[in-house]
C-alpha cells in the first residue's frame, strides 16, 4: 500500500524541464530567498533573540539561490509564462509612492509584489513577472497615475 502511495507521488511530480517544474522550483527558491518558509522564520526568530545559529556565509548562499532562481525565471520567460510589460506614466512619483505603500501593506502576502521585478523612471515603468500578475500591476499603476 505504501509503495502505491510513493509511486503516485513520484508520477505526479512535474517532469524536469517542464513549465510546471520551472514554476515549482522558482517559487521554492523565492520562498527561501525571502525567508517565507516556516523553518526560515523560526531560524530568524532564534537568531534575533538568542544570537544562536548565525549563518556566516548567508550572503554567498543568497547569491547562489538568486542565480538558481534567475535560471528558472529565464526559462519561464522563454516559455512565455513570465512577461515583460512597459507602462507609460505621467506621474512617476505618485506611481512609485503607490508601489511603496502597497508593498509595505501587503509585501509578503501578495505574490505579484514578491515575484515581479519593477523598475521605472522617465515616464515609464517596466514590470517583469508572471503573466497572471500583470493585471495587478496594470490596475495599481492606472489608479496611481493621476496627472
pLDDT digits (tens, 9 = 90+) for 68-116: 988 998 898 888 888 888 888 888 788 888 877 877 776 656 666 666 7
Tens of pLDDT along 13-35? 777 888 889 988 988 888 887 77
Query: Given the C-alpha cell 522558482, which residue does it identify?
Result: 26
The SS3 call for residue 6 is helix
Give, in order, the Cα–Cα distances in Å from 72 to each of 36, 56, 93, 100: 19, 27, 32, 27
Nearest residue to 115 via CA among 49, 47, 36, 45: 36
How much is the pLDDT for 108? Answer: 58
Which residues are paired to 121 by β-bridges?
Answer: 124
In this prediction, residues 129-135 reach a mean pLDDT of 81
Our separate counts of H helices and E strands in the chain read 7, 3
How much is the pLDDT for 43? Answer: 77
DSSP readout, 104-119? HHHTTT-HHHHH-EEE
User: The whole model's pTM is what?
Assistant: 0.61
Amino acid at each position: 500500500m505504501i509503495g502505491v502511495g510513493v509511486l503516485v507521488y513520484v508520477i505526479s511530480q512535474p517532469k524536469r524541464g517542464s513549465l510546471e517544474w520551472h514554476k515549482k522550483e522558482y517559487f521554492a527558491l523565492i520562498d527561501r530567498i525571502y525567508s517565507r518558509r516556516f523553518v526560515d522564520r523560526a531560524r530568524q526568530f532564534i537568531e534575533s533573540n538568542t544570537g544562536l545559529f548565525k549563518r556566516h556565509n548567508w550572503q554567498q548562499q543568497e547569491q547562489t539561490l538568486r542565480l538558481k532562481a534567475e535560471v528558472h525565471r529565464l526559462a519561464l520567460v522563454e516559455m512565455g509564462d513570465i512577461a515583460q510589460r512597459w507602462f507609460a506614466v505621467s506621474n512617476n512619483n505618485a506611481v512609485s509612492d503607490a508601489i511603496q505603500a502597497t508593498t509595505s501593506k501587503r509585501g509578503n502576502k501578495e505574490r505579484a509584489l514578491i515575484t515581479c521585478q519593477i523598475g521605472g523612471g522617465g515616464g515609464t515603468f517596466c514590470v517583469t513577472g508572471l503573466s497572471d500578475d500583470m493585471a495587478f500591476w496594470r490596475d495599481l499603476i492606472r489608479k496611481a497615475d493621476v496627472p
